[in-house]
Amino acid sequence: MARVELFAPKILAFEGGFVNDPVDRGGATNMGVTLDTWKKVGYDKDGDGDIDADDIRKLSKQDAMAVLKLNYWNRWGADQINNQSIAEILVDWLWGSGKWGIVIPQRILKVPVDGIVGPATLYAVNSANQRGLHSAIFQARGRFILDLVKNHPEQKKFLDGWMNRLNQFKFVA
């Protein structure tokens, strides 16, 4: 079974510290945790009565890893995925692109496309040819990234980084 403890260091290696690039659709972000995500799952870290970019600036690695586990790893039910490399590419897609990281893999798996990972989706993940599934997810995510940049040309500045990140997800049996 896949383990978040093996994946968490990879996320931290991909993600930097605090950024608030006006072109980045995620807005204020620290270690990959966006302000919108922190508003849903976090708290007022600086105690000033609101949750804003100042709170994102104060996130710790423990905060980021708690968000990863509770809201991305668990959302994919990744503890129940047999192959670590499959779990990692799926959770990273969800982490980076929200619901599309579930919806598009569900299309690939030919299960009901509802954006919710349940028993049927997990069964399909674990029953598929693992190398073939990883390849299909990898290719679909690459197309997703290219389409995103095509539809939002201002995002082109992130293309190389996104593709380099995707290329780090190699299949391991």
Fill in the DSSP letter of residue 22: T
Q: What is the pLDDT of residue 24?
A: 85
Q: Is the same domain home to 88 and 11?
A: no
Q: Is the same domain home to 143 and 112?
A: yes
pLDDT digits (tens, 9 = 90+) for 62-77: 999 999 999 999 999 9
Closest CA to 42 of 21, 60, 19: 60
> What domain range is 130 assigned to?
82-173
Q: Is the same domain home to 104 and 50?
A: no
Q: Is the same domain home to 131 and 68?
A: no
DSSP β-ladder status, 33-34 and 29-30: antiparallel
Q: Is the same domain home to 112 and 173?
A: yes
Q: What is the pLDDT of residue 81?
A: 98
| Number of domains composing the chain | 2
pLDDT digits (tens, 9 = 90+) for 15-61: 989 999 888 888 899 999 999 999 988 889 999 999 999 999 999 99
Q: Is the same domain home to 68 and 117?
A: no
Q: Is the same domain home to 113 and 42?
A: no
Q: Is the same domain home to 87 and 167?
A: yes
Q: Is the same domain home to 86 and 163?
A: yes
pLDDT digits (tens, 9 = 90+) for 100-151: 999 999 999 999 999 999 999 999 999 999 999 999 999 999 999 999 999 9
Q: Is the same domain home to 6 and 50?
A: yes
Q: What is the pLDDT of residue 105?
A: 98
Q: What is the pTM of this model?
A: 0.92
17 CB burial (10 A radius; 0-12, 13-18, 19+): exposed
Q: How far is residue 70's CA from residue 76's CA, in Å, rounded to a whole number?
A: 10
